[in-house]
Amino acid sequence: MTRPLKIAFAGLGTVGGGVVKALQKRSEILEARAGRPLEIVGMCARSRHKSRGFEVTNWVDDPQALAAGDADVIVELIGGEDGPALALSEAALESGKHVVTANKALLARHGAHLAALAESKGLALRFEAAVAGGIPIVKSLRESLIAYGVVTVRGILNGTCNYILTQMEATGRSFEEVLSDAQHLGYAEADPTLDVGGGDTAHKLALLAGLAFGMTPDLDHMPVEGIAHISPEDIAFAREFGYRIKLLGIAKATAQGIDQRVQPAMVKAGTPLADVDGAFNAVMAVANDAGPFFFEGRGAGEAPTANAVIADLVDIARGNMGPAFGIPAHSLISLSPAPAGSAVSAFYLRFQVLDVPGVLAEIAGHLAKWRVSIESMIQRGRAPSEAVSIVMITHETKHADVQRALKTIALSDKVIAPPCMIPMEAR
Tell me how far apart the alpha carbons of residues 365 and 372 are, in angstroms, rounded to a whole number.
10
Distance CA 259, CA 342 (A): 8
Alpha helices in 2-103 (DSSP H): 14-25, 27-34, 63-68, 83-94
> Could you give the angle at the alpha carbon of 7 between the alpha carbons of 6 and 8, nearest 5°?
130
Q: Going along 119-181, which residue ranges are E strands?
A: 125-126, 152-156
As a whole number of angstroms, the distance between CA 47 and CA 43 comes to 11
Residue 125, Cβ density class (10 Å: 0-12 exposed, 13-18 middle, ≥19 buried): buried
DSSP secondary structure of 366-422:
HHHHTT--EEEEEE---STTSEEEEEEEEPSEEHHHHHHHHHHHTTSTTB-SPPEEE
The 8-class DSSP code of residue 143 comes to I
**Among the residues of 172-288, which ranges form H helices?**
175-185, 193-196, 199-213, 232-241
C-alpha distance from residue 184 to each of 180, 195, 287, 373 (Å): 6, 15, 40, 44
Kind and range of the H or E run holding 312: helix 302-317
The neighbour count for residue 129, using CB atoms within 10 Å, is: 28
CA–CA dist 129, 276 (Å, integer): 20
Strand partners, 40: 7
Q: How many whole angstroms separate alpha carbon 353 and alpha carbon 387?
A: 5
φ, ψ at 56 (rounded to 5°): -90, 120
Residues with catalytic function: 204
Nearest CA to 66 among 87, 81, 47, 49?
Answer: 87
b/e per residue 23-45 (b: at least 16 CB within 10 A): beeeeeebbebbebbbbbbbbbb
